[in-house]
Amino acid sequence: AEPGAGMPPSAPALPGWEHVSSGKVRDVYAPADAGPWAGQDVLLLVASDRISAYDHILSTPVPDKGKVLTALSVWWFEQLADIVPSHLVSLDVPAAVAGRAMICRRLEMYPVECVARGYLTGSGLAEYRDSGTVCGLPLPAGLTEASRLPEPIFTPAAKAELGEHDENVSFERVAEMVGTDTAEALRETTLALYTRAADIASARGIILADTKFEFGQDPATGRLILGDEVLTPDSSRFWPADAWTPGRPTPSFDKQYVRDWLTSPASGWDRGSAAAPPALPDDVVQRTRQRYLEAYERLTGSPLDLT
Ligand code: ATP
Ligand code: MG
């Protein structure tokens, strides 16, 4: 991607680790030769405070967002461990990234974004309006924005390069990419995880409209392992249940203020232009930070310990 259209700023240097790559939000490190994890098949995943909206990484970070994403993923890994093991190995990370980083088993990742949807919106709704299907799956007529689906569906996407959109694909395409047995395991596991997580969220007044998992294979055992981040506001659409009205877009739990402000006259930004969005005003940053913390607290039942 060209600079400004999404190249992340440089990742911090960390003792014992070598930076290997950065995505929109996370910086990935491998063990350095002299470090405590030298020679082990692990990665350090560091969640920054970067926030993206409308496919841009914003120039203004949201303080503590990376800590929320990390702590929430860790909490979910525990809730889901009886369905599938996770890649989490240790939270004993360099002090500079304490709370926002985890040491994970290095997996051979499947190049599939394993999306489950219980409600219709976003790219799913767009395809449905075109063809009555989502990822080739036929759905009943008469559904609209934010409709609840008759049952959760597996709507995979092929992972795209940084700055590109992931592409929705059919189950058959996934089977061509990874083999039928693995494709079936990905579908079954994704739907089981979604169902468990949606039940937990629903008991706390939150609708899990859709979410994305990434899985990999443990190189040592060949087992399917849950990787990446899970069930965070960045990988999921969380809707406050009391704000859900089919037929109308439901504001997402986390980015509502950011999106509202960016598309308001106050920002002076033209979403259709190639220009990068402007810096966020402090009150938008603070309210967004509160939303992330509130999502964590509502889902887990406890406030995030930021000490
Ligand atoms: P995006 O900015 O769209 O999220 P991204 O998903 O490529 O792009 P990040 O999420 O910021 O980037 O970075 C995490 C990267 O690490 C992803 O490419 C993800 O697939 C990969 N990853 C996650 N867990 C593991 C693991 N256990 N082993 C190997 N790679 C992993
Ligand atoms: Mg990612």
Give per-residue pLDDT as tens, 57-109.
Answer: 999 999 999 999 999 999 999 999 999 999 999 999 999 999 999 999 999 99
pLDDT at 162: 64
Dist. CA 214 → ligand 2 center (Å): 8
56 — alpha (psi -120 to 50), left (phi > 0) or beta? beta
Helix, strand, coil tally for the chain in percent (to 5) = 30, 25, 45
Residue 265, exposed/middle/buried by CB under 10 A (0-12, 13-18, 19+)? exposed
Q: Please, which pLDDT band fits residue 54 given cuts at 50, 70 and 90? A: confident
| Distance of CA 140 from the midpoint of ligand 2 (Å) | 31
What is the whole-number distance in angstroms between the Cα of residue 230 and the centre of ligand 2? 10
Q: What is the rounded CA–CA span in Å between residue 71 and residue 86?
A: 14
**Ligand with smallest separation from the Cα of 6:** 1
CA–CA distance, 60 with 50 (Å, rounded to integer): 7
Q: Judge if the beta carbon of residue 28 lies within 6 A of ligand 1.
A: yes
DSSP characters over 276-299 = PPPPPPHHHHHHHHHHHHHHHHHH
Compute the distance between CA of residue 139 and CA of residue 128 in angstroms, rounded to an integer: 8
Confirm or reject: Cβ of 228 under 6 Å from ligand 1: yes
**What tens digit of pLDDT does each residue of 202-231 get?**
999 999 999 999 999 999 999 999 999 999
Atom of ligand 1 nearest to the CA of 234: 4
| 227-255 per-position pLDDT tens digit | 999 999 999 999 999 999 999 998 888 88
CB 113 less than 6 A from any atom of ligand 1: no
Q: ipTM score of the complex? A: 0.94
Ligand 1 and 66: CB distance under 6 A? no
Taking the centre of ligand 1 as the mean of its atom positions, its distance from the CA of residue 300, in whole angstroms, is 24
Q: Which ligand is nearest to the CA of 214?
A: 1
Q: Is 212 in the pocket of ligand 1 (CB under 6 A)?
A: no
